[in-house]
Structure 1
Amino acid sequence: MQKRVQIQSRKAQTVYLPLAASSLTIHSRITSQSQSQNNIVKVVQKQLKVRNRSLKTRNQMQKEILSQTDSCTQKVSTERNLEIDSSIMEPSTTITNKQFQLVWQSPYRPHIYTINFPYPALLQQQRSQQFLVEQIKKPLFYKLQGQVPFKCVLNSFEAAGFERSDDDNWLLYWGLASKETLNEMKRYQKTNHFPGCWSVGRKDNLWIHLSKVKRRFPTEYSFIPNTYLLQYDFERFERIRECAPKKTLWIKKPVASARGNGIKLINKKSKLTADKRYLVMDYISNPHLINNFKYDLRVYVLITSTDPLRVYMYKDGLVRFATQEYSLKSSDIKKRFIHLTNFSVNKQSPNFIANNQDIGKQLKTSKWSHKEYKQQLMDQGINHKLLFKSIQDVVLKTCIAAEPLLLENRITQEHKNNYFELFGFDILIDEKLKPWLLEVNVSPSLNSSSELDAQIKTQLISDMLHLIGLEYHTKKAFRIQIKKKLYERNINDIQSINTRNFRQKVNQEDLDVMIQSLEEQLRLGQFKCLYPNKKNIFEYEQYFEYPRFHNKLIQKYFEDGSNWVI
């Protein structure tokens, strides 16, 4: 591609002169009203001479620039406490046949760009073009943990121009990364699991942390059934079982299993041992039924940061039905297709009906979308908005209770934004329309077993990858990253911060944390921000085990009416 020199005459005429792209750029503007056409001709001749000299030395200049860049890079990389991203250290050479791609430009930090994830073709919709700008196209890479990705993941990466790589030049690592990989991650790299995330997916660990908060707030945390860890609570449970009414039921689950494996109902006569691999929960025997079938809701929840805590809930999800009509007869206790709603269980039933046709018209299928479910509730005269507000409350309170689990397993505090996590919450609705938390799943299934699954999960993953903000580096914005110092902060200092002095009171790390929260809320897609949220941030403050500086800082920002000029 050739650069051009623009010369303007007194008549506002423009003359374009082609120059070699690697030559010195010459900008000559003749704006005086007294200049004649002869002067313009002289300047043109002078520019042509420069062009000819430039063409002769073009190759030599390129070699010199390349060698200077290489030597500079080698010198800087030997410095301590510096990180060099070699994939963005571009030589100052001519770029011909430029190709551009759209990236998301932050309105708060104009030098920061993040990867735009267009919706894959099967969704047949376009993402908002707001804040999208053109940048020179660069290779984008993701890495997998030796597994074949689900189609919804693969399609989302391909739509954004990503390629799979086995090297270390990736922007996103999909899978459970090793401790070594986590330690060596650069600031702009991300992985889809928090260190120690599996402890949240264990039913025993989650109950331990939920029960701590439940002891402080028994009414507010009454959304989880009473749970007994057989390793510790066996004798207490046996006393409770002995005194319970004759037809009382409980549900026995493995503490570290999923997809319905090892789950069964028990009654007063069932044999039980103090097996540390299992827990027992009160069975919700009065579920809300649709067409006389039991169901539960799969709710997708995204956490993009733990310090500060940032929680999002997806607006759509799945409704999973049992495949036999509900019954509490003693002869039906062992019938899994009546009492379990797990897809992995019910897909084996001869009564299972896949949702493979027009979404919204298949109300006899064994799996619905949340949109279909809400419409059904409306038809029954039920306020679905109030119900889902209660579900959001359950989700957020659970995330707050699990926050210490995620923080205590953090490997390094240096880069707080390297991780994100998608959870699958299983919620049961009882006949009084109260939501109950059954369990939280790490790595919820992304398998597209039907057209409904493909639609929901593809948009879910695309929106998630767009929201998390994978940084797209330019030479101007990021060449060398100096590692940040870690600061000890006093939460009491926040009270003295106000609209006028906050620039002096907070450091760059604090400012970045705030801006990242605001930026994410501009890339939501179909996600809804549960926290931090101006409407509820003060209400939920009481449920945190410990106050965190950055949580309190964002709270202060909202308290001051979001008037800080960031």
Structure 2
Amino acid sequence: MKMCKGFFDKFFRIFVLVILASGEHVSGDPAVTTDGQCATKAGEGQESSSGTNDCPSGKPVSPLTEEIAKKHEKKNIAQPALTLSLFSNVPPTINFVRPDQQVEELPPAIRSRLKYYGDPSSVIAGYISRSGFTHSTDAGEYTFYFSLPYQINETKYYQMVRPYQKFNHFPDSWILGCKDKLAGNLLHFKIKYGSEEYGFFPRTFILPFDRISLKRAWDSTEKGAWILKPSCTFGGNGIEVVNDWKQIPENEYVVVQRYIPNPILCDGFKMDLRLYVHVTSIDPLRIYLLNEGSVRISAKKYTMDDLHNRAIHLTNRDVVPEDSGYFVDENMERGNRRSFTWLWGYLKEKYGVEHQPIWDSIKDVVIKTILTGEAKMRKSTRAFIKNRYSVHELFGFDILLDEDLKAWLMEVNVSPRFPRNILKRVTQPMLASMLNLAGVQIPAAEMLPKLKHSTEEDAVPEHLVMNRNLWTQPLTDEEKTKHAKYTGITDEVAQQSILDKLTPDDIRMLVETVGEYHRRGDFERIFPAPDTKKYHKFFKKPR
């Protein structure tokens, strides 16, 4: 369904304010919450006239729910194990917390359903296991997957992802993560929409296909440097800065870009930015950007007189020699990794500029970059993923600011790394927020092969487990007609009638979108937003 300014104006005016004003539950139907109380229209607890702990709907509070409530009453437990939905009859999500926070322990019946697949020694594993998950070595039996994506030629394997499973990659997200694929799409969009819209990446050539064009550009351009990047590597591996045509490989698959010679410097050292971008849904598209990030500073002072020393021109920790003096301050206010908070103060002091216009330009780069791969990822997701609940992805965007404070896209990473003992100021709140945004739910027993014949001891109250009807309902003829109607309307005034008559699909989408936004933590949703209309032209087809 196409998103527009009118949609959001009306949506937030009529719908969200009602939700936020009414507490945790807004439906008129009662629901059992995890604190052992019954929720009514305004989220208020009630007792039945019999004086028992039964709900008005006749549903008793289960022993398991009471067990959760008792654990939550403990003084030393600061965070609940589950995040309740804003809506009645919508199951909660697992609550993930930072290492400096405590979280209540879930009962064994729930913990037995929570399995994760990934490196058990990774930083992310600590966050997941604290919330009740145990590690699984079986790639097919997991609730939560957080590891590397399937390779480029393995997209078909995404069809093995089961409807209750949460997988941290979209099919074909390599279209952003591989430098040659990203460059090809950026060039296509630049040709189609012009440099004014897509002039945020350096002049780029893809070898060996563009070798003749590169030679022509090389000969006609003032003497300067170019940067060679292998098609699909990370961590600075294989990257070289060159200024001699003899250094250009003849038959290798590499991306060659004009080197930006005037980067913004910190005390004479080159720096760039690592941003964390969480795409929580590709259909419809929803993009969140972390409000903090990492300013990466090179180990050696910047000069164009030495192109071979990668510690001058690259900011990746992997390329820094041991004796370089590289260090990271825990507060990220000194050393080679600093925070965006530090950066905004630095720009204010040195350049006399406010950070918001720069931040807005960065958001624009992020959105337009993702839109270059949206159609491919959406098509593959529809083809291979059974449930839109299942997939989400955290991307690492590398951005360089030049002396004019223009934002340049360097690359996109599909599996950004999280250092264990550094960057805690950024990664700790980011990882907790990202996991909560993902919205991991407890699978129902019938969804799990090993629990299809579960005993009473294995039982989990129905209101706590995933309801597949919220995610996998096919569109009715009426809903298909409405989708077709509003994707064809370009008049903004006419679009505002989209919420006049809500279909069940509309309600499911609104519940999903609002609930997710409520869990955003330190992320900012940048798409959709009130100014989304200006990006409509970049979609292959109306959405």
Which position in structure 2 is the counterpart of 1:429?
401
Q: What is the correspondence of 1:287-366 to structure 2 with a 5 Å cutoff?
A: 287-329=263-305, 332-346=306-320, 348-360=321-333, 362=334, 365-366=335-336
1:200 touches 1:405 (CA, 8 Å); kept in 2?
A: no
Identity between Structure 1 and Structure 2 (%): 29
CA offsets 1:205-231 (integer angstroms, 9 cap, x no match): 111111221112221110011110112
Judge conservation of contact 2:299–2:312 (CA < 8 Å) in 1: yes
Going from structure 1 to structure 2, the CA distance change for 1:98 and 1:136 (only over 3 Å counts) comes to farther
Taking structure 1 as reference, are residues 138 and 289 closer, same or farther at Cα in structure 2, changes over 3 Å only? same
Q: What do the CA deviations read for 1:442-476 (whole angstroms, capped 9, x no partner)?
A: 101112242xx233212211110111111246414
Structure 1 Cα separation of the partners of residues 120 and 465 of structure 2: 33
TM-score normalised by structure 1 residue count? 0.71
Please point out which of 538, 541, 546 is paired with 2:536: 541
3-state SS in 2 of match to 1:524: coil
Amino acid at match of 2:134: E
Name which of 493, 506, 514 aligns with 2:485: 493
Structure (1 or 2) with the larger CA radius of gyration: 1
Corresponding position of 1:41: none
**Cα separation, 2, equivalents of 1:28 and 1:299:** 55
How much does 1:160 deviate?
2.1
User: Whose relative contact order is higher, 1 or 2, with alpha carbons under 8 Å and at least 6 apart?
Assistant: 2
2:83 to 98, 104, 111: 104
Which residue number corresponds to residue 99 of structure 2?
A: 120
Report the CA distance shift for 1:336/1:367 in structure 2 as closer, same or farther (over 3 A). Answer: same
Aligned counterparts, 1:205-216, within 5 A: 205-216=181-192
Q: Is 1:368 aligned to residue 338 of structure 2?
A: yes
Tell me the distance in 2 between the aligned counterparts of 1:118 and 1:412. 32
What is the identity, as a one-letter code, of the residue corresponding to 1:293? F
- Please, which runs of 5 or more residues in structure 1 have no aligned partner? 1-26, 31-91, 549-566
**Partner residue, 1:513:** 509
How far does the alpha carbon of each residue in 1:173-229 deviate from its partner, in whole angstroms, 9 at most, with x for none?
A: 122477787434443321111122223211111111112211122211100111101
Q: 1:135 to 1:546 in 2, by over 3 A?
A: farther
> Where do residues 54-65 of structure 1 align in structure 2 (5 Å cutoff)?
none
CA offsets, 1:281-336, max 9 Å, x none? 0110111111011111001111011110010111111111111111112xx11111
2:114 maps to which residue?
A: 141
Residue 526 of structure 1: which of 510, 522, 528 is its match?
522
Equivalence for 2:253: 277
Task: Point out the structure with the larger helix share.
Answer: 2
1:385 equivalenced with 2:356 (yes/no): yes
Q: Measured at CA, do residues 487 and 236 of structure 1 come closer, stay the same or move farther in structure 2, by a change above 3 Å?
A: farther
More displaced, 466-475 or 290-299? Answer: 466-475
CA distance in 2, matches of 1:266, 1:184: 44
Q: Is the 2:332–2:425 contact (alpha carbons within 8 Å) kept by the matching residues of 1?
A: no
Query: Of 398, 401, 413, which residue of structure 2 is paired with 1:441?
Result: 413
Pick which of 167-176 and 429-438 moved more: 167-176
The 2-side partners of 1:435 and 1:443 are apart by 22
Match of 2:230 in 1: 254
Q: CA separation of 1:512/1:241 partners in 2, compared to 1, >3 Å: closer, same or farther?
A: same
Distance 1:264 1:531, change over 3 A: same
Structure 1 residues 165, 262: closer, same or farther in 2, change over 3 A?
closer
2:331, 2:425 within 8 Å by CA — same for their partners in 1? no
Residue aligning to 2:17: none
Distance 2:211 2:122 in 1: 41
1:357 deviates by 4.0
**Residues 440 and 317 (structure 1 numbering): CA distance in 2 closer, same or farther, change over 3 Å?**
same
The answer on 1:242 being equivalent to 2:208 is no
